[in-house]
Structure 1
Amino acid sequence: MPVPRVSVVVPLYQKERYVGRTVASVLAQTFTDFELVVLDNACTDGSAEVVRGFDDPRVRVERNDETVPVTENFQRAVRHARAPLVKVLNADDLLAPTVLAEQIAVMDADPTLALVSCRHDLVDDDDRVIARGRALRTTDLLGRRDATTVLRRIVRHRGSPIGVPGNMLFRRDAFDAVGGFPDNGYALDVGLAARLVTQGGFYGMPESLSRFRLASGSITSTARRRNMALQHRFLRELRREHADVVRRRDVAVGLAREPVTWLRQRIMVVASTDPSSWRHRLAAALLAPRRPATDGSAAGSAAGSADGSGAAPRRAHQAPVEAP
């Protein structure tokens, strides 16, 4: 069986309501040389049956004998991938039709890259856009960047400036070299990105080419407090591991941003409430970027070539000069 150019892997657990839309967004890609690997983490709802209902030879369902922790399920999902390029997608998130074509073109143009990421839109239970152009909101993360720039920005941001898993496409050999996802209980996306940039360059795309679902009740106040505590631990470990790169100034800037981070997390809690409530509408307005995201959104990107050829993307990405 030929090895595909890219593997899209979906760690799946109890997402019967959403996973069909997730799979459909992958199968709608203009780039067609991929496999879609869904790892069923011993689901007890109808999630796996929804995936098996898709009659497409590129879809493969694997299953754990028993439910394992989230990080382990993500690790196992990537191990099932056969391609040299991998994209991990949450089982309730969505991809714009051209994301694989555009990101593969970036990786092909620069073999020294370990990771490419884009922006994402936030959507609710019914795929309505809550906010556009999230992640990569600072110019020092756009274009080709080195590990120093990315690690310093992570510490200063005190969140996940790189984006969610569906934003990223990475090289499998770089993933294996760093041991995969960190088992720190914190956001898998930023933790993995911090590891991958030690193996090669990072490229940030200004387009919004994925959609992250903020499902009703998905973020609670208890979870927010837990995430903040785990975030502090992750940043301390990052500072210790990269003391030659992360400066005291970066730590100080991050600490000064702590109230902003707390407020952002609180707004996310409110945004995951009933979409018909005024609190939800207010939170959505606050989450919207102050200025439009550069070069389009996921909705606009859906208008790309539909010939299924996997041809180069509509735009050629030019890397700006490295930020100091």
Structure 2
Amino acid sequence: MLPQPSVSVCIPVYNGERFLAETIRSVLDQTYRDFELVLLENASTDGSMEVIRSFADPRIRVERNATTLSQPDNWNRVIELCRAPLIKLVCADDLLHPRCLELQVGPMEADPGLAVVAARRHMIDEQSRVIVPRRGLGGLLGVRTGVEVARKVVRNGANPIGEAGGVLFRRDHFFAAGGWRSDRRLIMDLDMWLRLLQYGEFLGQPETLAAFRIGRGSVSAENEQAIYEEQRLFTEELGESPYFQVRGIDLAIGRMLAPAGRARRQALFAISRFNARKQDRTAAAELAD
């Protein structure tokens, strides 16, 4: 058994062969070196396992499910497989900036009162081109209490913190909070960040340290209406929580701005689809020539 690393980066993989190699390289290229990379292959039917086997790095540990688990169950299992006290989950089509771990591990190790460190991220398309740069964390930079974050989330009407790739958290807090929830499948990340913030404070970083890919077949793109509904119900739950002390004015603003948050998501999906169709036409024209 290798010595325990400081950080576990984990990638749950299901039919991810198209972007997986780029994602793995973005992890292995980190300037911070004391990490393990745990790859959990969820009984894919494509060539994901062949992509994984093409990498030879002692920091990589590969596990495989005998049968395909649901996304929440698979994400919970990949965290269970991690050995380090600090965790970063990266989806199999997203990317990390080379300094992501370097800039996020330091604050977590220096301040045991931090439960979540989050950075801004780029929104990218299927060709890894930036659709929207430096997205997220509006009004959430610096150290914030859970109450401050909850009020901002409610007012935002969407997810101002961002997806898993831009966030670092503590393994013990994750299990204390109960893990990823199957009844929050479409907003699992946001739901988890708020539950983690019952164990410590939040640090929002101004740097852009991750990239979230919006593809034609992504869960977000295919479930936009359901995401909107889950987000709305989650906002109302936060408003009823005695811990987070969300005010009536926060809820009123959130209800008013929720359609705008939905419109922003729809615009991102539309841009990604347009870019993908344009790329398909270009490729077809090149073949015809």
TM-score when normalising by structure 2: 0.91
- 1:262 maps to 262
- 1:241 maps to 241
Residue 106 of structure 1: how far off its partner (Å): 1.2
Residue 159 of structure 1: how far off its partner (Å): 1.0
Are 1:216 and 1:274, in contact at CA under 8 Å, matched by a contact in 2?
Answer: no
- Could you tell me how far apart the structure 2 residues matched to 1:81 and 1:242 are? 33
- 1:130 maps to 131
- Can you list the C-alpha shifts for 1:198-230, whole angstroms capped at 9, x where unaligned? 100110001001111112353687621111111
Are 2:186 and 2:226, in contact at CA under 8 Å, matched by a contact in 1?
Answer: no
- Can you list the C-alpha shifts for 1:169-224, whole angstroms capped at 9, x where unaligned? 00111111111123322322211110111100110001001111112353687621
- 1:192 maps to 192
Residue correspondence of structure 1 range 1-324 to structure 2 within 5 A? 1-138=2-139, 141-183=140-182, 184-218=184-218, 223-242=223-242, 245-275=245-275
- Could you tell me how far apart the structure 2 residues matched to 1:60 and 1:227 are? 33
Are 2:141 and 2:206, in contact at CA under 8 Å, matched by a contact in 1?
Answer: yes
Are 1:8 and 1:87, in contact at CA under 8 Å, matched by a contact in 2?
Answer: yes
Residue 256 of structure 1: how far off its partner (Å): 0.9
- Could you tell me how far apart the structure 1 residues matched to 2:244 and 2:31 are? 42
Are 2:40 and 2:62, in contact at CA under 8 Å, matched by a contact in 1?
Answer: yes
SS at match of 1:190: helix
What is the aligned residue count? 276
- Residue type matched to 1:48 in 2? M
Are 1:219 and 1:269, in contact at CA under 8 Å, matched by a contact in 2?
Answer: no
Q: Percent identity?
A: 42
Residue 277 of structure 1: how far off its partner (Å): 6.3
Cα distance change on mapping 1:221 and 1:134 into 2, 3 Å: closer
Residue 131 of structure 1: how far off its partner (Å): 1.4
Are 1:119 and 1:206, in contact at CA under 8 Å, matched by a contact in 2?
Answer: yes
- Could you tell me how far apart the structure 2 residues matched to 1:271 and 1:217 are? 14
Cα distance change on mapping 1:206 and 1:42 into 2, 3 Å: same
Are 1:219 and 1:272, in contact at CA under 8 Å, matched by a contact in 2?
Answer: no
Cα distance change on mapping 1:203 and 1:54 into 2, 3 Å: same
SS at match of 2:186: coil
Are 1:87 and 1:168, in contact at CA under 8 Å, matched by a contact in 2?
Answer: yes
- Could you tell me how far apart the structure 2 residues matched to 1:74 and 1:219 are? 14
- Residue type matched to 2:162 in 1? G
- Can you list the C-alpha shifts for 1:139-194, whole angstroms capped at 9, x where unaligned? xx111111100111111112111011000000111111111123322322211110
SS at match of 1:181: coil
Of stretches 230-239 and 195-204 in structure 1, the one that deviates more from structure 2 is: 230-239
Residue 243 of structure 1: how far off its partner (Å): 6.3
Query: Which structure is higher in helix share?
Result: 2
Return 5+ residue gaps in structure 2 as ranges.
279-289
- Could you tell me how far apart the structure 2 residues matched to 1:162 and 1:211 are? 13
Cα distance change on mapping 1:268 and 1:251 into 2, 3 Å: same
TM-score when normalising by structure 1: 0.81
- Can you list the C-alpha shifts for 1:10-31, whole angstroms capped at 9, x where unaligned? 1111110100000000000011
Are 2:150 and 2:244, in contact at CA under 8 Å, matched by a contact in 1?
Answer: no
SS at match of 2:118: strand
Return 5+ residue gaps in structure 1 as ranges.
279-324
Residue 268 of structure 1: how far off its partner (Å): 2.1
Are 2:6 and 2:34, in contact at CA under 8 Å, matched by a contact in 1?
Answer: yes
- Residue type matched to 2:38 in 1? V
SS at match of 1:117: strand
Residue 235 of structure 1: how far off its partner (Å): 1.9
